[in-house]
Chain A
Amino acid sequence: MDEAAVGTRRTSGDEARTIQSPSEPSLWREFLRGFLRVLRANPLTFIGFILVLIISVVALLVVLVPLVSSVILGHTVLVTPYDPNALSTDYGQPPSASHLLGTDNLGQDVFSRIVAALPLDLAIGFGITGFALLVGGGLGLVAGYWDEPRTIGGAVSVIILRITDVFLAFPSLVLALAIAASLGRGTGPSMLAILLTWWPYYVRLARGEVLAVKHQPYVMAARAGGVSEVRILFRHVLRNLAEPLLVYYTLDVGTVIVTFSTISFIGIGVPLGVPEWGSMVESYERFLLTLPWTVLSAGAAIFVTVLAFSLFGDGLRDILDPRSRRALVQAAVPSTLAAKVAAAAEA
């Protein structure tokens, strides 16, 4: 039972707040300490974290630099070495110092196109997953917390769960493809199609966690202490939910990027000319043997991004889950112990 829980059981209302507040900074410090320890103990997580950081910073720069430069300097400055849509006579050039990832069949710089596609793919990954987290997580919270049979809450819970079941029966990519095809081609309809199919997983996940948490002794203690239901929900239940949802969110960003790029690969995603990794693989696939750097670079961009998010998500689970954190730290201990023993023996 954590400190905050003890505080809530012994006191109620405002007193509980005063007991919890001093522990807030130490919670953050503990999180940061655990984070650094896991990064040190697990090189794969470290690589994932660094990659996610680089990808996010580059995506921000690609969006912000042209905007800021057009306001301050009066003309647009691009982060990419070339205009991603500019055609040139340098077509089919292999990777070199002037074209880091070579040029495609139209003379466009492949590196510039891959970097230019980064903000769109990343925004879609974060945006759709964020929406699914809010909607699905919220519905799951309600469905799990108020699930007493023969009450209004119970009836709402049943309705939410049955609608979720209907959506879960359809493979999400196929349903998204069907919806995107009916809504019409383009970035917006494809995003909407994924949005509509993505939230049910979060309902199931959130509901499962709420059911596990709401019968814990500290929740009952809070209720016995006179804490209001809404406060218990947000202060005690939601906090325990944040951990698994955050991990799932991080892992899911990569999956959404792959799904969107698949829709683009099929040809109903982004319009022609807009740099996007999936549509780049589709347009370059016939050059796999003649201009391999084109298709392989676009594919590698998706591969690295998804891998980065999955490594980071796995690591985040290790940091947030006390059991894995302990196991990792224990795994790191013997080497330190051995070093100490060796040093003592030498002395």
Chain B
Amino acid sequence: MDSPLTDQFWAYLSSLVTGDWGTNPTTEIPVLSTISTAFPATLELVLASLAIMTVLGIPLGVIAANGAGRWADHFVRTFYLSGWATPTYLGAVILAIGVGPVLGLPTKGDFSSTPTFPRPTHMSVVDALLNLNLPAAGDAVLHLILPASALAFLNLGIATRMTRTSMLEVLPLDFVKTARMKGLSEFRVLYKHALRNALITTITILGLTAGVLLSGTVVIENIFQWPGMGEYAFGAITGYNFKGTIGVVIIFAIVVVISNLIADVLYGLLDPRVEWR
């Protein structure tokens, strides 16, 4: 602590590279070991909410674009604007305290009771399936529904809005008219011909939402007591655990950079006009 700030910073950087990320001052547990078990749980939550965003958000965008200016469009726009205008914590609190008990869905943790089976991946559903424990897998899925929905609902607007905008650009094009003139069903025209071309932008944008989703986990995991990075970040930030806070921020930054890279690569793969040099 007596050495100059530059020396301390250099020492911290060197220890980061060697895997020594410091310890939690109250529990003395190393930061990196906590992060390595908490990160997969967050990844599972984020992937589940991305799945909900894709399965629900993209068709809603198609419906809105197909009925642009009509009631379906207004309804979808109101729905995604409500999601966007609802603060993360408010949606999560309503789902955890209001909706969860009414529907009988679990609102705390990732399992009803601490699992006795080995957890190689630290992802609740994957671990249960790897152990061929179907009741535990069902329990894990039930526990995942509310936090993933809270995270997805608040970001659903991004997928819907992007799909709507790019579908509006694609729908008046000649190849869509040709598909319609050939007598194809409306479903095939919309989802097989138009959506394929409109999806490129949406997928890229979904990749770029990683930062937003990760920010959301800090609040959502705390409300649903999900044992992930967000919960750890919340505890570290409010508990003056600076090493833990810096560790979480670094990991989040790495994830954002990697997901942006994945989005860029996907863009190149989906759009043949983009050339790799």
Q: How far is B97's CA from A310's CA once the two chains are assembled, in angstroms?
A: 28
CB atoms of A268 and B237 under 8 A apart? yes
What is the CA–CA distance of A307 and B79 in the complex, to the nearest angstrom? 11
Residues A162-192 near B (CB distance < 8 A):
169-175, 177-178, 181-182
User: Do A171 and B82 form a contact, CB below 8 Å, given A177-B233, A181-B237?
Assistant: no
Q: Does B19 contact A (CB under 8 A)?
A: no
Contact mask B70-96 → A, CB, 8 Å, 1/0?
A: 000000010001101111111001100
A311 to B222, CA, bound (A): 31
**B171 contacts partner chain A, Cβ-Cβ < 8 Å:** no
Complex CA–CA separation, A331 to B24 (angstroms): 61
Q: Please provide the chain B residues from 219 to 249 with a CB less than 8 Å away from any CB of chain A in the complex.
A: 219, 222, 233-234, 237-238, 240, 242, 245-246, 248-249
B269 interface hit (Cβ, 8 Å): no
Given A254-B85, A302-B87, also A177-B93 (CB < 8 A): no
Pair B242/A278 contact, Cβ less than 8 Å: no
Please indicate the chain A residues that have their CB under 8 angstroms from the CB of B265 in the complex: none
Knowing A171-B211, A281-B93, A289-B97, say if A331 contacts B69 (CB, 8 Å): yes
Tell me whether A93 is interfacial, beta carbon within 8 Å: no
B219: chain A residues at CB < 8 Å are: 262, 265-266
Q: Does A66 contact B (CB under 8 A)?
A: no
Q: A278 and B93: CB pair below 8 A?
A: no
A169 nearest in chain B by CB position = B253
Q: Which of B86, B214, B215 contacts A303 (CB 8 A)?
A: B86
Interface size class of B (residues with CB under 8 A): 35 or more
Summarize B's interface: helix, strand, loop or mixed: helix
Which residues of B sit under 8 angstroms from A258, Cβ to Cβ?
Answer: 87-88
With known contacts A281-B93, A288-B98, A169–B87 Cβ distance under 8 A:
no
Residue of A nearest to B234 (CB): A266
- Closest residue of chain A to B101 (Cβ to Cβ) is A289
Residues A311 and B81 in contact, CB atoms below 8 Å apart: yes
Q: How far is the CB of B103 from chain A (nearest CB, A)?
A: 14
Nearest CB in chain B to that of A308: its residue:
B85
Question: CB distance A266 to B252 under 8 Å?
Answer: no
Contact A174 B89, CB 8 Å, known A266-B219, A288-B94, A311-B81: no
Closest to B77 in A: A44
Name the interface residues of A228-250: CB closer than 8 Å to any CB of B.
none
Q: Do A288 and B214 contact each other (CB < 8 Å), given the known contacts A178-B245, A310-B84? A: no
Q: How many A-B residue pairs have CB under 8 A?
A: 104
Min CB distance A41 to B, Å, is: 11
The reply on A210 being an interface residue by CB < 8 A is no
Q: Are A267 and B238 in contact (CB under 8 A)?
A: yes
**Nearest CB in chain B to that of A292: its residue:** B98
Cβ-closest chain B residue relative to A311: B81
**Does A295 sit at the interface, judged by CB under 8 A?**
yes
Cβ distance B209 to chain A, nearest Cβ, rounded Å:
10
Q: How far is the CB of A57 from chain B (nearest CB, A)?
A: 21
* B248 and A174 contacting across the interface, CB-CB below 8 Å: yes
A306, CB-defined interface residue at 8 Å: yes
Residue A261 lies at the interface, judged by CB distance under 8 Å to chain B: yes
Query: Which of A171, A182, A286, A304 is the one whose CB lies under 8 Å from B252?
Result: A171
B256 lies within 8 A of chain A by Cβ: yes
A177 touches B214 (CB 8 A): no
The answer to whether B218 and A174 have CB atoms under 8 Å apart is yes
**Given pairs A288-B97, A302-B90, 12 additional interface contacts (CB within 8 A):** A44-B77, A170-B256, A171-B211, A178-B248, A262-B89, A266-B218, A266-B234, A266-B237, A282-B89, A289-B97, A289-B98, A311-B81
Question: Can you offer 25 A-B residue contacts whose CB atoms are under 8 A?
Answer: A44-B77, A171-B256, A172-B215, A174-B218, A174-B249, A181-B238, A181-B240, A254-B85, A261-B87, A262-B87, A265-B89, A265-B219, A266-B219, A266-B238, A285-B93, A286-B97, A289-B97, A299-B86, A299-B87, A303-B85, A303-B86, A303-B87, A306-B85, A307-B81, A307-B82
B residues sitting closer than 8 Å to A (CB atoms) are: 69, 77, 81-82, 84-90, 93-94, 97-98, 211-212, 214-215, 218-219, 222, 233-234, 237-238, 240, 242, 245-246, 248-249, 252-253, 256-257
Minimum-distance CB pairs A-B, first 5? A173-B215, A171-B211, A306-B85, A307-B85, A299-B90
A-side residues, CB < 8 A to B, are 44, 169-175, 177-178, 181-182, 254, 258, 261-262, 265-268, 278, 281-282, 285-286, 288-289, 295, 299, 302-304, 306-307, 310-311, 331
